[in-house]
Chains A and B, each alone.
Chain A
Amino acid sequence: MLAAAAVTLVFVAPIYLMLVNAFKPQDKILANPVSLPWPPTLDNLKEALTRPDNLIPLGLRNSLIVAVISVALIIPLGSAFSFYIARRSGKAKAAILLALSAGLMIPPQVTLLPTIRILTWIGLDHSYPGLILANLGGGYLSFAVFVYVGFMRSVPDEIIQAARLDGASGLRIWWQIVMPLVRPATATVAIFLTLWIWNDFLNPLFILGPLQGQTITTGLYLTIGQYSVDYGQLFGIMFLAGVLPVIGYLTVQKQFVAGLTSGATK
């Protein structure tokens, strides 16, 4: 028990520092960074939220828009595609699946520049629609298909045949019968993609560019350098930027681990 607690402490210590120091003034942070914030001060958070550049509210809003729209579009696209190929057999299907799983492995630095060039061709470079479009077609879609195909295979063929005999169209079978059956896959895809797109750094940094507004990660990166000595301000900003994913994770933590382990032990 003691050893297990010590291990947990190692994982949590830096996050603990971020949490307690967000509520302490600068002099107390330097005097003792591990002490509890008592009495707690909200000055760091207030200052971070009322910055003239609106870093935190704007960044959170932009990240939310990008993540929600991307995930809301990747789920139907990825699942329809998976349903379409899961019902087919043969070499074409194997080749497509192989190509898609390769997509999981490609370092984003390889595709970044050409992606920006393609977005320029269609007039969407340095824009949020462009960033979302790049999210839709990249490795994220590969991940969605990868997860969905595994689940789609386990949907019994009889159910689909029966629905077909009743006259249901492919679109209806997919949306009304298959989608409810693969809900755990949807949960896994939604949770992980939201997190990854929210935390993404390279794509928003270069696809949006500094002049076109910022997501919370790029905004943080481009602004926080000014505060190399003001720890109170630093921790305040980091706390506000990191608190949403942490709350989200604690809320759906069971599905989170289930999604991770179902993929890992298959």
Chain B
Amino acid sequence: MRKKHLKAGERGLTLLAALALLLYLVFLVLPLLLSLRSSFTNENPLKATNDFVGFANYTEMASDDALKASLTFTLILAFGVTVAANALGVGFAMLLNRTSLSYRVMRTLAFLPQVLSGVIVGFVWQTILTQNGLLNTALLKVGILDEPYPWLGSPHAALFSIGLVVTWVMSGFTTVVYLAALQSIPLELNDMASLDGVRGTQRFRKITWPMLAPGTTISVTISLITVLKLYDIITVLTGGGPANSTQSTALYIVKLAFTSDRVGYASAVAMLLLAISAVVALVVTGALRRREVSL
């Protein structure tokens, strides 16, 4: 009797684990394979075509200017935001690294942007940055501007504005990560440095920055990957405009698939984005890990 019960219990756990594996296979591995297969076809739900076209989609990418523009925008945004958010994160973490109550409250508040959905973040900033938005209204009233500045209305300003908003969101995350890394630095190390007369920028360069290395690895990698697949904030802020100048690759894929119905080609671009994310993640993580060891 007891043995039977035992067996049922054993099977129950295996069953749960198998169910998890099945879900993972059906909703992550299978879609990935289907997407890969689709990238070699001219699939189009409107024309009901689904023929193999070999590498045609991949060769088409080479001459697709919209794709090139989207990749340039995405990479500039990803690297720009990553550098800015991590520099700010280190700075903010050092400013907020005290244990008194007021500092704990400030740390809590600094993380707030992370909690809101990208859609809300996008809309809040849109009310601020749009042509007759709160920022222009204020700047006109104070007399800094004579006419409204197109924060989201010209290609360069829009890139800058989106970078600003995404940096604002990511900095809360990087700050918390660097705070944790700062708190893991042994106190003796700082005491010894003080005794040796190492302080200021030298102390930061020789002690703090190297000791932050594990935090840097995780924070840089997550910033890069987050921005590479970013969809909601850009969609709400500019929808890819003006003139497609802020159309990230993630937006371009969705547009190809759902607006242009070019599912096959969209899948090929998706594979490219996946490859870029994988390479960036592996190369950057690898380099930063090696740096952790050598420091």
Chain A residues near B (Cβ < 8 Å)? 1, 3-5, 7-8, 10-12, 14-15, 17-18, 29-30, 33, 76-78, 80-81, 83-85, 96, 99-100, 102-103, 105-115, 117-118, 133-134, 136-139, 141-142, 145, 167-172, 174, 195, 198-202, 206, 216-218, 220-221, 224, 228-229, 231, 234-235, 238, 241-242, 245-246, 248-250, 253, 256-257, 260-261, 263-265
Q: A84-B17, A105-B225, A118-B30 are in contact. Are A221 and B236 (CB under 8 A)?
A: yes
Shortest B276–chain A CB gap in Å is 9
- B28 proximal to A (CB < 8 A): yes
Point out the residues of chain B lying under 8 angstroms from A103, CB to CB. 24, 28
- B273 proximal to A (CB < 8 A): yes
Point out the residues of chain B lying under 8 angstroms from A113, CB to CB. 31, 35, 38, 257, 263, 266-267
- B75 proximal to A (CB < 8 A): no
Shortest B113–chain A CB gap in Å is 6
Interface residues of B in 30-44 (CB under 8 A from A): 30-32, 34-35, 38
Q: A81-B16, A106-B28, A171-B10 are in contact. Are A12 and B112 (CB under 8 A)?
A: yes
Contact of A107 among B20, B110, B184, B228 (CB under 8 A): B228
18 chain-A/chain-B pairs, Cβ below 8 angstroms? A10-B168, A14-B128, A17-B128, A17-B134, A109-B231, A110-B31, A110-B270, A141-B23, A145-B20, A171-B8, A201-B232, A234-B127, A242-B117, A245-B115, A256-B111, A257-B107, A260-B177, A265-B184
Q: Is the CB of A8 within 8 A of B270?
A: no
CA distance A29 to B111 in the complex (A): 26
- Ranked 10 nearest A-B pairs via Cβ: A169-B9, A137-B27, A261-B180, A199-B117, A137-B23, A114-B31, A114-B34, A107-B229, A80-B16, A84-B17
Q: Is the CB of A18 within 8 A of B254?
A: no
Q: A4-B106, A17-B134, A81-B20 are in contact. Are A167 and B2 (CB under 8 A)?
A: yes
Point out the residues of chain B lying under 8 angstroms from A5, CB to CB. 106
Shortest A62–chain B CB gap in Å is 14
Chain B CB within 10 Å — which of A117, A216, A246 has the most?
A: A117
Point out the residues of chain B lying under 8 angstroms from A7, CB to CB. 91-92, 95-96, 106, 110
- B49 proximal to A (CB < 8 A): no
CB-nearest residue of chain B to A235? B127
Shortest A245–chain B CB gap in Å is 5
CB-nearest residue of chain A to B280? A105
Contact of A220 among B12, B28, B120, B125 (CB under 8 A): B120
CA distance A10 to B278 in the complex (A): 33
Q: Is the CB of B127 within 8 A of A81?
A: no
Chain B CB within 10 Å — which of A3, A85, A242 has the most?
A: A242
Point out the residues of chain A lying under 8 angstroms from B8, CB to CB. 169, 171
CA distance A118 to B91 in the complex (A): 47
CB-nearest residue of chain B to A234? B127
CA distance A265 to B211 in the complex (A): 11
Q: Is the CB of A170 within 8 A of B13?
A: yes
Q: A195-B115, A199-B118, A202-B231 are in contact. Are A106 and B274 (CB under 8 A)?
A: yes
Stretch at the interface among B143-151, B153-161, B186-194, B213-221: B213-221
Point out the residues of chain A lying under 8 angstroms from B21, CB to CB. 81, 96
CA distance A110 to B229 in the complex (A): 10
Q: Is the CB of B95 within 8 A of A3?
A: yes
Shortest B169–chain A CB gap in Å is 10
Our count of residue pairs bridging A and B at CB distance below 8 angstroms stands at: 270
Shortest A131–chain B CB gap in Å is 11
CB-nearest residue of chain A to B122? A221
Q: Is the CB of B106 within 8 A of A118?
A: no
CB-nearest residue of chain B to A1? B102
Q: Residues 1-29 of chain B: 1 if any A CB is under 8 Å from the residue's CB, otherwise 0?
A: 01001111110111011011101111111
Q: A33-B134, A107-B273, A249-B115 are in contact. Are A238 and B120 (CB under 8 A)?
A: yes
Point out the residues of chain B lying under 8 angstroms from A112, CB to CB. 31, 254, 257
CB-nearest residue of chain B to A117? B34
CA distance A141 to B28 in the complex (A): 10
CB-nearest residue of chain A to B7? A169
Contact of B124 among A17, A172, A250 (CB under 8 A): A17
Q: Is the CB of B215 within 8 A of A11?
A: no
CA distance A76 to B31 in the complex (A): 24
- B171 proximal to A (CB < 8 A): yes
Contact of A141 among B9, B20, B35 (CB under 8 A): B20
Q: Is the CB of A138 within 8 A of B27?
A: yes
Q: Is the CB of B215 within 8 A of A265?
A: yes
- B116 proximal to A (CB < 8 A): yes
Contact of B28 among A111, A228, A234 (CB under 8 A): A111
Point out the residues of chain B lying under 8 angstroms from A264, CB to CB. 176-177, 180-181, 214-215, 218-219
Point out the residues of chain A lying under 8 angstroms from B56, CB to CB. none
Q: Is the CB of A8 within 8 A of B27?
A: no
Shortest B246–chain A CB gap in Å is 16
Contact of A134 among B27, B113, B177 (CB under 8 A): B27
